[in-house]
Chain A
C-alpha cells in the first residue's frame, strides 16, 4: 500500500456538500418542530422599563413570548475552559439591563418561522436610555489577564539601566486594527429537542464533548442525558465553540414548551450575539544595534470587551516567541465598551500581534537599510523566551529562504516607489507567520467489517476544514486500505470524545488517536495486517472487529515549546491617484511539521491568507456614535474579499515532522496562515508608495489621501 499521509486527497465529504446531502443544523427535520425568533435591543445601554407582549401573544400561530419577566431559569455553569464554558457569562434574559446594541431581550416562538418573525415585530418595548460608550478613545483601560486568568504582563532584562548599545537604532510606532465580525457561511443555529428529561441539541459546535457538559450543567442533568449532534459546520473560526445566549435560551424555552425548537440567528443579529474580534491598538518599540541585532522589544496592546464578559485579545502572546532580544517588556490592557462580547477569531492574539510586530520589523529594516528577510534571520530565537524552553522543531529560516527564492525576492529594489507596471506602483512585502502547536485528548472507535470497509466514529467535528478526510487518510494509512473504504461518522456525543477543534489542534489531537485505534484493532485479534483480519472475519462469520484508541498531550511539553512557523511574500499593485490596490502575487511557506493532507493543508493556509487580506484591506465594523448600534451588519456592508480580490496563492510546506510533539510529527495548520498577512500587505504598500499604513483596513480613501 502506498503512503497516504501527506498526499493530496480531495475532501471525502465534498460530494455530499455540493449536492446538498450534507445536513447542517438549520436543515435538520424534526417532527413537531417550532420556530423561535430573537427579539433584540434597539438601544445600546440602559434598561427595559416596560415590555408589552400582548399583541404578539395573540398573533396567529404564536406559542410563547419569552422576555426577562418570564424567562425560564437555568443554572450557572462552571464556566471554565476545562469542563464547561459559555461565551457570555451573563445568562440570557437574566434581568432588564441592556449592555449593548442588539442584545437579546426576548424570544417569540410560533408554528412557522415567518409567524414568529412577524409576531416579534409586535413587541412594544420602552427603555430608560443611557448614553452608550462605543468609542474606545474615550474608554478607560485596565491591566488585563488572559482568558485563562493568567497574568499577561511580562518583563525580562535590564531596561532601567539602559541597554548599553552604542548608537542604537530605534523605531516606535502604534498600530491599530478594526472590529472584525464573524461571518461564517453558515449563520449560527440550534435545535433543542427534549424527550422526557433527555436533551438533544443540534448545533454547530467546535467542541461536542465540552458543550455536552455545559448543557448538562445549565439544566442540572447528567451529561449522559445530553446528546450533541453536529455532523457538519459551515465555518466557525472560533465563534462556534460554546453556547451563545441564543443557544441557552433556545434549550431552556424548548424545555418549557415541551416542543422541539429551532432558533437561527440572522446575519444582522450575529453582529452582536455571536462574537467578533475586538479592535486593537498596539505600540511596538524596537531597539537594535547598527547591524540589526535586536536589543529590546517593548510591546503594549489594548483591546476592548463587553460589559458582561472579559475577553482580552491576547496580542502579546507572540512577543516572547518571535525574536531574541535580551530586554523585553509586554503589557496588555482592556477596556469595556457597550458592544457585544468579543471572542476567539482565527489566531486570536497572533493575528493582530503579528500585524504590529511584523510591521515594526519592516520599519526597522528600512531604518537600518537591511533586507527584512535578513533582519529576521539575524534575530531568530531557538527558545520560547517566556517559557524558557527550546522549540521542539523550528524551520523558520527555511520558510524565509524558500519563500524568498520562490518569490524572486533577490530582485527587490531597496528603494520605495521604484517598481512600476502599466502605470501602477508595484510593491513587494514580506512578513513572518507563527502559531503555537497545541494538542488535546482525543478518542476514536474503529470498526472493520468483513467486506473490508472500515467505520470510524468520534465526536470530533469538521468545521469545513477536512476532519472527515484526515480521519480517512489516517485510517487508510494505518490499516493499509484505500481511502474510499473508510466511512467516517463524527460530530455526535454518542461517539467517543474526539476533543476540541480550536487552537489549530484537531489534527494534532485526532490523528494519533486514529492511529492508536487502528493499531489496537489489529492487536486485539493478533492480526499482522488488515487482510488477515478480514480473512478471519469472513471465515469466522463475525460481524466486525472494533477497537478504540486515544491520545493525549505528552510529558514533552515540560521540556519543549511547540510552535509553527512561516513566511509570507506578496506583491501589490497600486493605482495611487484613485486609491485602487490589488494584491497580485502571494507566496507562503509554512513549517507545520508533517503535512497530513497536502490539499487540505494548502487550502487552510490559503483561507488564512484570504482572511488576512480581508483584515488588511477591507474588514471593519463601525458603530453609530450616538446610538451605539452597528452600521455595518450584513454581507453588503461588511466587506471581505471577493474572488476578484485574490491572486493565485502559492503555498508550500517545509514538511519536517515534529516527532517530539506527537507520534506523527503533525502540527495544526488552521490558524497560522492568517498571521503576518496584514503586515506583509502593508509592508508591500510601503515598498510601492513610501507611505507607512499603521491603521487597518487600508481602504481606498486612506490609500489615496
Chain B
C-alpha cells in the first residue's frame, strides 16, 4: 500500500520548508476535494502537510478600503462576514451557491482556488485523461461533453473549473498572495488559473512549494450592485451549467464601469474584459447588455452536447447585468 507521511506545519515558513523535502508533497487544509481524490487514487502524495492550524484565518479590512481574506478562512466565514456581505455581496452569494453547508464549513478559501475539475472522465480511471495522465488523450471530446468548456479549451482538454467563489473573485479583481522559499509575492487573479493548452495537468501558475496565504480584494465602489447568477440542473448542490458574476456602476443612465465573469464555461474563471470595455460609457439598456453578452461569447466553440451553453450564457449575462443595473439583489 502506498503510504504517505502526515506532518502538521507549525508556521507558514515551516510549511513551505516542509514541502521542499520531497518531490511529491501536498498541502492539506479542509480536504474537501483532496480527500476525495486520494480515495480514488487521483493524487498519490508522499507527504501531506497539514496547514489547517496555521494562523491564516483572519478576514480584515485593508487600509485601501478593501478586504484581506486569510487563506484558511472557511468558505462559511467568508460568506457570513459582515463587511463582505455589505461590500461584496456577489462574493457571499457565489460561495453560498456552491457545495453544502457542511462542506463550506470545512472548505477554505485557499483550497477553493485549488479545487480541480469535476469532469467525470478525469475522476474515473477507466477513461484516458490528459489531465490525469498527460498524453493519454481526452475521451470527453468525442464523448459526452454537456458539462464541458465552450471557451478557451484545447485539443487536449475541455474541462471546466468548478468553483463559484472564484468567478466572483475574478470579477472583483482579487489578488492572490503566495509564500514560497523565495518570499512573498502577489498574483493577479486572472493570471492565477491557466487555460489547458497542451499542459492540462496544470490548473494554476503556482510553482511547487507555493503556499497561498491570502486573497486580497481591492475596494470596488460598485460591487454592492454585484450579483451572482448560477444556472444548474437542480436548485442546490450541483455544479454550474453557467454562472455569471456581474456588477454595473451607473452614472445616471449610462454605464461608468462594469465587471463580468463567467463560470462553467472554461478551464478557469472567465473574465470578459472585452465585454466590460464595451459596456463603459454605453446606456444601461437591454440592447447594450445583449451586445455585451454577444461580445463575451465571441469565440465560443461548442461541442456535441454543450451548444446550449452559448445561449444560456448570453441570456444569463443579460439577466445579471439588468439586475445589477437596477441596484443588485438576488438573481
Task: List residues of chain A with CB under 8 Å of any chain B CB.
Answer: 42, 59-61, 101-102, 114-115, 118-119, 121, 268, 577-580, 582, 617-618, 622-627, 629, 631-634, 636-637, 639-645, 699-701, 704-705
B68 within 8 A of A: no
Partner-contacting stretch, out of B11-19, B50-58, B206-214, B232-240: B232-240
Residue from A102, A114, A577, A700 within 8 A of B233 (CB atoms): A700
Q: Are B143 and A625 within 8 A (Cβ)?
A: yes
Q: Are B139 and A627 in contact (CB under 8 A)?
A: yes
**Which residues of chain B are near A633, meaning CB under 8 Å?**
120, 124
B280 interface residue (CB < 8 Å to A):
no
CB distance from A404 to the nearest CB of B (A): 28
* A580 and B233 within 8 A (CB): no
| Closest CB in chain A relative to B59 CB, distance in Å | 27
Q: Which residues of B contact A580 (CB under 8 A)?
A: 231
Contact assessment for A699 and B233 in the assembled complex, using a CB-CB cutoff below 8 Å: yes
Instruction: Please determine whether B124 and A629 come into contact, CB atoms closer than 8 angstroms.
Output: yes
CB pair A578–B237 under 8 Å, yes or no, is: no
B121 with A645: CB separation less than 8 A: no
Cβ of A101 and Cβ of B126 under 8 Å apart? yes
Which of B20-28, B174-182, B185-193, B307-315 lies at the interface?
A: B307-315
Which one of A61, A119, A622, A645 contacts B235 once the chains associate, using CB atoms below 8 Å? A645
Contacts A115-B1, A639-B238, A642-B235 known; 8 new A-B pairs at CB < 8 A: A102-B126, A578-B231, A624-B144, A631-B143, A633-B124, A642-B238, A700-B312, A704-B308
In the complex the two chains form, is A624's CB within 8 Å of B236's CB?
no
B126 touches A114 (CB 8 A): no
**B120–A631 contact, CB under 8 A?**
yes
Q: Is the CB of B319 within 8 A of A577?
A: yes
Closest to B232 in A: A700
Q: Does B316 make an interface contact (CB < 8 A)?
A: yes
- Determine how close the nearest CB of chain A comes to the CB of B237; give it in whole angstroms: 5
Cβ–Cβ contact A578 & B319, under 8 A = yes
Residue from B120, B127, B233 in contact with A639 in the complex, judged by beta carbons closer than 8 Å? B233
> For residue A631, which residues in chain B have a CB less than 8 angstroms away from its CB?
120-121, 124, 143-144
Is residue B142 within 8 Å, beta carbon to beta carbon, of the partner chain? yes
Give the distance to chain A from B232, nearest Cβ to Cβ, in Å. Answer: 7
9 contacts between A and B (CB under 8 A): A114-B1, A268-B124, A578-B312, A623-B144, A627-B127, A632-B120, A636-B239, A637-B118, A700-B232
* Bound Cα distance from A626 to B118, whole angstroms: 20
Cβ of B146 within 8 Å of any chain A Cβ, yes or no, is: yes
Query: In the bound complex, how far is the Cα of B234 from the Cα of A428, in angstroms?
Result: 20
Which chain B residues border A102 with CB–CB below 8 Å? 126
User: Top 7 closest A-B pairs, CB basis?
Assistant: A644-B235, A701-B308, A644-B236, A642-B236, A118-B1, A631-B120, A42-B126
Q: Does B241 contact A (CB under 8 A)?
A: yes
Q: Shortest beta-carbon distance, A647 to chain B, in Å?
A: 11
Chain B positions within 8 Å of A627 at CB level: 126-127, 139, 143
Check: B2 CB closer than 8 A to any chain A CB.
yes
Query: From residue B325, how far is it (CB to closest CB) to chain A in Å?
Result: 16
The residue from A59, A577, A629, A637 contacting B126, defined by CB atoms under 8 A apart: A629
Main secondary structure of the interface of A (DSSP, over half): loop
Q: Are A617 and B236 within 8 A (Cβ)? A: no
- Contact between B234 and A639, CB atoms less than 8 A apart: yes
A579 x B312 contact (CB < 8 A)? yes
> Chain A residues with Cβ under 8 A from B308's Cβ?
701, 704-705
Q: Which residues of A contact B120 (CB under 8 A)?
A: 631-633, 637
Cross-chain contact A643 with B236 (CB below 8 angstroms): yes
* A701→B235 contact, CB < 8 A: no
Task: List the A residue with the shortest CB-CB distance to B162.
Answer: A636
Q: Is the CB of A701 within 8 A of B312?
A: yes
Do B319 and A624 touch across chains, with their CB atoms under 8 A apart? Answer: no
Q: How far is the CA of A60 from the CA of B120 in the complex (A)?
A: 31
Residues of A near B311 (CB, < 8 A) are 704
Report if B41 contacts A (CB, 8 A).
yes
A644 to B124 alpha-carbon distance, docked (Å) = 29
Q: Is A622 within 8 A of B144, CB to CB?
A: yes
* Alpha-carbon gap, A643 to B236, bound state (A): 8
Q: Residue on A with the closest CB to B229?
A: A578
How many A-B residue pairs lie within 8 Å, measured between CB atoms?
96
Q: Give the distance to chain B from A114, nearest Cβ to Cβ, in Å.
A: 7
Given A115-B1, A631-B120, A636-B118, A626 and B233 touching (CB < 8 A)?
A: no
Give bound CA distance, A259 to B118, whole Å: 39
**Residue in B2, B118, B239 whose CB lies within 8 Å of A118:** B2
Contact status B143-A642, CB under 8 Å: no
Q: Closest CB-CB distance, B121 to chain A, in whole Å?
A: 7
**Size range of the interface on B?**
20 to 34
What is the minimal beta-carbon distance from A571 to any residue of chain B, in angstroms?
Answer: 16
B316→A578 contact, CB < 8 A:
yes
What 0/1 pattern do residues 103 to 129 of B give for CB contact below 8 A with A? Answer: 000000000000000101101111100
Given known pairs A624-B139, A624-B143, A705-B308, the reply for A618 and B315 (CB within 8 Å) is no
Known pairs A700-B312, A704-B308; A618 contacts B319 (CB<8 A): no
How distant is the Cα of A631 from the Cα of B1 in the complex, in angstroms? 28
Contacts of A626 in B (CB 8 A): 139, 142-143
| Contact of B233 with A60 in the complex, beta carbons under 8 Å | no
Choose from A623, A644, A704 the contact partner of B312 (Cβ within 8 Å). A704
Chain A positions within 8 Å of B127 at CB level: 624, 627, 629
Within 8 A of A (CB), among B229-265: 229, 231-239, 241
Query: Hey, which chain A residues are within 8 Å of B121, CB to CB?
Result: 624, 631
Q: Tell me how far the C-beta of B24 lies from the nearest C-beta in chain A, rounded to whole angstroms.
A: 17
Contacts of A637 in B (CB 8 A): 118, 120
Complex Cα spacing A12 to B273, Å = 60
The answer to whether B315 touches A704, judged by C-beta atoms less than 8 angstroms apart, is yes
Q: Which residue of B lies closest to A112 (CB)?
A: B1
Closest to B241 in A: A700
Measured in the bound complex, the distance between the Cα atoms of B241 and A101 in whole Å is: 27
Chain B residues positioned under 8 Å from A639 (CB to CB): 233-234, 238
User: In the complex, what's the smallest C-beta–C-beta distance from A482 to chain B, in angstroms?
Assistant: 38
Are A577 and B237 CB-contacts (below 8 A) given A101-B126, A627-B126?
no
Instruction: Please indicate the chain A residues that have their CB under 8 angstroms from the CB of B234 in the complex.
Output: 617-618, 639-642, 644-645
Q: In whole angstroms, how far apart are the Cα atoms of A624 and B231 in the complex? A: 24
Interchain CA distance A98-B313 in the complex, whole Å:
42
A60-B315 contact, Cβ under 8 Å, with A631-B121, A642-B235, A704-B308: no
Cβ-neighbour of B236 out of A101, A114, A121, A645 (below 8 A)? A645
Chain B residues, CB < 8 A from A701: 146, 241, 308, 312
Closest Cβ neighbor of B244 among chain A residues = A578
- Name which of A625, A637, A645 has the most chain B CB atoms within 10 A of its CB: A637
Interface residues of B in 133-173 (CB under 8 A from A): 139, 142-144, 146
A631–B241 alpha-carbon span in the complex (Å): 16
Are B1 and A59 in contact (CB-based, < 8 A)?
Answer: yes
Question: Smallest CB-CB separation from B237: which chain A residue?
Answer: A642
What is the chain B residue whose CB lies nearest that of A641? B234
Which chain A residue has the least Cβ–Cβ distance from B308?
Answer: A701
Tell me whether A60 and B1 are in contact (CB under 8 A).
yes
CA distance A622 to B120 in the complex (A): 11
Give A646's nearest chain B residue, CB to CB.
B235
Q: Which of the residues B142, B144, B315 comes within 8 Å of A578, measured between beta carbons?
A: B315
* Distance, CA A268 to CA B124, complexed state (A): 9
Contact among B123, B139, B231 for A700, CB-based, below 8 A: B231
A268: chain B residues at CB < 8 Å are 124
Query: Which residue of A101, A577, A625 is within 8 Å of B144 (Cβ)?
Result: A625
Which residues in A have their C-beta under 8 angstroms from that of B233? Answer: 618, 639, 699-700
Docked CA distance A577–B293 (Å): 14
Q: Are B232 and A577 in contact (CB under 8 A)?
A: no
A640 and B234 alpha carbons, distance in the complex (Å):
8
Of listed B123, B234, B237, residue having the most chain A CB within 10 A: B234
Task: Tell me the nearest residue of chain B to A102, going by C-beta.
Answer: B126
Give min CB distance, A628 to chain B, whole Å.
Answer: 10
Alpha-carbon distance A256/B29, docked complex (angstroms): 44
Q: How far is the CB of B171 from chain A (nearest CB, A)?
A: 19
A114 and B1 alpha carbons, distance in the complex (Å): 8
Residues of A within 8 A of B232 (CB): 700
B312 x A121 contact (CB < 8 A): no
